[in-house]
Amino acid sequence: MIWRGLLKIEAVLEEVDRLLPSDPATAQRILHDHFGKEDQREVAERAALRDQAQTNRSAAEELRRRLREDLEVWQAIRKHSRKNAADPTAAQALSNLGKWESETRTELAQVDVLIRKLKA
């Protein structure tokens, strides 16, 4: 499932790269459409998982799986952004990715501790 998500993201990014020089507005719309829709649903699901994870090991493990998936996505986007480092938006993306990756690693460590407590 993770790889399918990464392939989809890479396909979106490739389409954006293709359109960016000739039609930047459409490229931005594609990014917003793809990530905006996913984001709203995912935010709600993760909030519920975070609440449930406090007492439910399965929810905590699902949250951990999603956080690990996030790290893989950040790495894929980082790789893509480095290929386009001359683009000013790529430089900003690399900066944001570092912050998001750090936040994700911190939350992942907290979830790992929680899972160990729930196993006891």
Report pTM. 0.68
Burial 48-74 (b: 16+ CB within 10 A, else e): ebbeebeeeeebbbbbbebbebbeebb
- pLDDT above 90 as % of the chain: 34
Mean pLDDT score, 88-94: 67
pLDDT of 111 reads 97
Q: What is the pLDDT of residue 50?
A: 95
Tokens in use for 26?
């459409």
The residue range of the domain holding 9 is 2-119
Note the helical H segments in 54-87: 57-83
